[in-house]
Structure 1
Amino acid sequence: MARNLVGLDIGSRFIKAVQLTEEKDTYSITQYARIEIQPQEPIPDALRGIFESNNFQTKRVVTSVSGRFVIVRYITMPVMSEDELRNAAKYELGKYIPFEVDEVIHDCQKLEEVQEPTTPEGEKEMRVLLVAAKRTFIDEHTSLLEDAGLQPHVIDVDSFALGNCYELGSTLNPEQQDRNKLIAIIDVGATKTNINIANATTSYFTREFYKGGDDITDVLCKKMALEVKEAEVLKRNPGSEISRVSECIAGTIDDICHDINISIDFFENQYDRRVDSILLTGGCSQTVGLSEDIERTIGRPIVKWNPLENFEINLDDEKKAQLTDDMPQVAIALGLASRIRKD
């Protein structure tokens, strides 16, 4: 029997919804929609509209959160069982979060054992992922979904959704399943940039910083006296204005590239491992000159990632064309829907 799950990426300006269907160990995209949130429009109304206007087969949704009320930490702990880890995690949390432990919802996951003993006593240790979010923040987010008549299944984190999208895509294409290859997925969105450094099965480092496409748009509006929609088009397709546009946005792009570079440098120095491949996605990834500037700053090639490439797409021609056009923007929504594999 087929099972459906909808990944719902609620952005600052757009909502993207991807329905993934699992049947007989195959995964296919069976519905897609993207809408722009209208000024002053309540989020539940926008969510209700996207489901009423499109033929989604389920109201079970996976969404994500981010920001200062969400804490992600990668730590080392003595090797212990899963039950012991869950008991120990709440005590470890207090060292890393700016809230009281009883004010947060938290989870933990063992990643891998450290190969060489790192304690003075020679005890074996393991790397652990700790995630915590302010309880009131999650409650508010859940209420938005329930007010729209939806059924929250999982509340995830944006950067983990990127990793889940890559992981499921790699499963569908065994040639990509190389556990020794490290990839950095960089999603440059409207208001923020997410980074996830992972292999085909495990995330080792995530970071988000609040710089993105809106900053580039704002610069163009100010320097070239443009309306927002004009600037949005021009930054992707500057045509004969390419020299002027490139000059106007150079400083902002440099800032984004700098933060990406120091993130990758930090990981490589911390883990003494080199990132083998860098995948670029997100709505802002189409900005003129961005991928080339990242390549130049980091000193290695950038691949513009197509998160859809290994998935079967069962949509009518119009929907398929829309999904293809929106390809750089759907990685998080598709990664959220990829949670169907872990049900």
Structure 2
Amino acid sequence: MSLLRPKKQPLLGIDISSTSVKLVELSQQGTGYRVEAYAVEPLPPNAVAEKNIADAESVADTIKRAVKRSGTRNKQCALAVPSSAVISKHITLPASIKEADMEGQIQIEADQYIPYALEEVNLDFEVLGPSAQNPETVDVLLVATRSENVEIRIGAANLAGLTPKIVDVESYATENAALLCSNQYHEDGPDKIVAIVDVGATMTSITVLENDAIAYTREQPFGGKQLTEDIMRRYGLSYTEAGVAKKEGQLPENYVPEILEPFKDNMAQQVHRFLQFYFAASEHQSVDYILLAGGCASIPGVDELIETRLGTPTAIANPFGQMSIAGRINAQRLGSDAPALMIACGLAMRSFD
């Protein structure tokens, strides 16, 4: 099963997060894309814990519901493993190595960087091109993850009646989708440093692009579940009731000043903290742009708050902003869900590599 290598065929992008399954199907129209189908379907509690699948059957049932809700007839899909479950490494090899011998050499090199027996991992590589420092060598991206991370996702998709053709990495899917958002941050020229901060239900990730290529990634626990739990405690609701009330705006007037605003402050602090991690690991001390993704990006005013606090232009990611949309899709709902669909969208784009 390929982690990186493209397969030219229509694919459903299936993003399995901690609280939901998200599905996106795209078609290509000239140099652009059209959204053919999409769905967001909630997972049962504890089916996925911090992006680790604990109940494959529940995940499969949720995928089935997402496929049915979307109306698609496509049965081929692309999946992704969490970036935190992946080891990636840039290595250099002599440019003279023949393609037939490349895989064997990669296996030898991989043994230095992977802390598991090679028979326990899924491994793939991509030749990036000649090395800038030495034209007689080529840069190669090596990617590996424990086989169980791949197999459990393939198993869930198979149970749902789908055939996985690609297993990608979430950060690379995000990178793909971010290129669709480039009109949001390339207005004053290319070569920008862009931080995509994805704040989901239980996990937050940062993917930093330098010149439209991944330079840094990190994940850690934090997300909208904390806001839901605050609502539960404050108003004596169940978790499900709190989630519905949050989504539908059915909360008392004191909700905004007493609960929502402190959560937005906390979210801004988390973004600042993630950026500090990036600055400590790189030669840069600033980014040019912040794109907010994930479900929490849709909280009204959070982009303005982060921009004011951090002094960095900030916008809500929308990979569908330049796309046409199939008539059966509710455009307003798609726009609302767009920040949470970055990974699913990036996976769907693998159809056209």
Q: TM-score range by the shorter chain?
A: 0.7 to 0.9
Question: Quick one: structure 1 residues 73 and 177, their matched pair in 2 at CA, closer, same or farther if it must change by over 3 Å?
Answer: farther
The answer to whether the 8 A contact 2:87-2:114 is kept is no
Task: Tell me which amino acid in the other structure corresponds to 2:92.
Answer: M
Q: Structure 1 residue 87: deviation in Å?
A: 3.7
Separation of aligned partners in 2, 1:197 and 1:125: 26
1:256 to 270, 291, 294: 270
Amino acid at match of 1:130: L
Match of 2:87 among 61, 72, 77: 72
- What does residue 280 of structure 1 align with? 292
| Aligned CA distance change for structure 1 residues 248 and 324 (closer, same or farther; 3 Å) | closer
Question: In the TM superposition, what whole-angstrom CA distance separates every residue of 1:239-298 from its partner, at most 9, and x where no partner exists?
Answer: 5432211565378536623442223313542xx585322111110123466435544564
Alignment of 1:183-262 (within 5 A): 183-199=194-210, 201-223=212-234, 225-229=236-240, 231-232=242-243, 233-234=245-246, 239-246=253-260, 249=263, 252-253=266-267, 256-262=270-276
Structure 2 counterpart of 1:47, from 41, 45, 63:
63
Distance 1:7 1:214 in 2: 24
1:277–1:301: 8 Å Cα contact kept in structure 2? yes
Change (3 A) 1:4 1:75: closer
TM-score between the two structures when normalised by the length of structure 2? 0.78
2:12 is matched with 6
Matches of 1:79 and 1:333 in 2, distance apart? Answer: 36
CA-CA distance at 1:167 after TM superposition: 2.5
Displacement of 1:337 in angstroms is 0.3
Q: How far apart are residue 75 of structure 1 and its match?
A: 3.4
The question of whether the paired residues in 2 share the 8 Å contact of 1:182 and 1:276 is answered with yes
Q: CA deviation at 1:61?
A: 0.7
1:315 aligns with 2:330: no
Alpha-carbon separation, structure 2, partners of 1:82 and 1:285: 47
| Partners of 2:114 and 2:190 in 1: CA distance | 31
Cα distance between partner residues in 2 of 1:216 and 1:252: 10
Distance (Å, rounded) in 2 between the aligned partners of 1:313 and 1:276 = 30
Alpha carbons 1:15, 1:34 under 8 Å: kept: yes
Report the counterpart of residue 169 of structure 2 in structure 1. 157
User: 2:293 is matched by which residue type in structure 1?
Assistant: T
Larger displacement relative to structure 2 (250-259 or 94-103) = 250-259
Amino acid aligned to 1:93: A
Deviation at 1:71, TM superposition (A): 1.8
Q: Which amino acid aligns with 1:73?
A: S
Are 2:32 and 2:323, in contact at CA under 8 Å, matched by a contact in 1?
Answer: no
Letter in 2 for 1:30: E
Show structure 1 runs of 5+ residues with no match.
118-122
How far apart, in 2, do the equivalents of 1:76 and 1:182 lie?
A: 23
Aligned partner of 1:182 in structure 2 is 193
2:161 is aligned with what amino acid? G
Aligned with residue 25 of structure 2, among 1, 8, 19: 19
TM-score after normalising by structure 1: 0.80
| Structure 2: runs of 5 or more not aligned | 1-7, 48-56
RMSD across aligned C-alpha pairs, in angstroms?
A: 3.6
Does the 8 Å CA contact 1:220/1:248 hold for their aligned counterparts? no
- Output one character per residue of 1:7-35: Cα deviation in whole Å (capped at 9) or x when no partner: 11122222221111125554211112222
**Residue among 22, 26, 34 paired with 1:28:** 34
Whether the 8 Å CA contact 2:26–2:36 is kept in 1: the answer is yes
Cα pair distance change 1:47/1:296, threshold 3 Å: same
Q: Which residue among 327, 337, 340 is the counterpart of 2:348?
A: 337
- Taking a change above 3 Å as real, the CA distance of residues 146 and 243 of structure 1, as seen in their structure-2 partners, is same
Instruction: Provide the C-alpha distance between the structure 2 equivalents of 1:50 and 1:63, rounded to a whole number of angstroms.
Output: 14
How many positions carry a matched residue from both structures? 331
Bigger drift between 291-300 and 129-138 goes to: 291-300
* 2:152 is the counterpart of 1:137: no
Distance in 1, Cα, partners of 2:200 & 2:239? 16
Does the CA-based 8 Å contact 1:257-1:297 persist in structure 2? no
In the alignment, structure 1 residue 57 sits paired with structure 2 residue 85 = no
8 Å CA contact retained: 2:279, 2:286: no
Conserved 8 A contact 2:63-2:160: yes
Q: Which moved more, 1:303-312 or 1:78-87?
A: 78-87
Secondary structure of 1:129's counterpart equals: strand
| Shift, 1:335, TM fit | 1.0
Matched, 1:91 2:108: yes
Q: Which amino acid in 1 is paired with 2:179?
A: E
Change (3 A) 1:125 1:218: farther
Give the whole-Å Cα distance in 1 for the aligned partners of 2:197 and 2:335.
Answer: 19
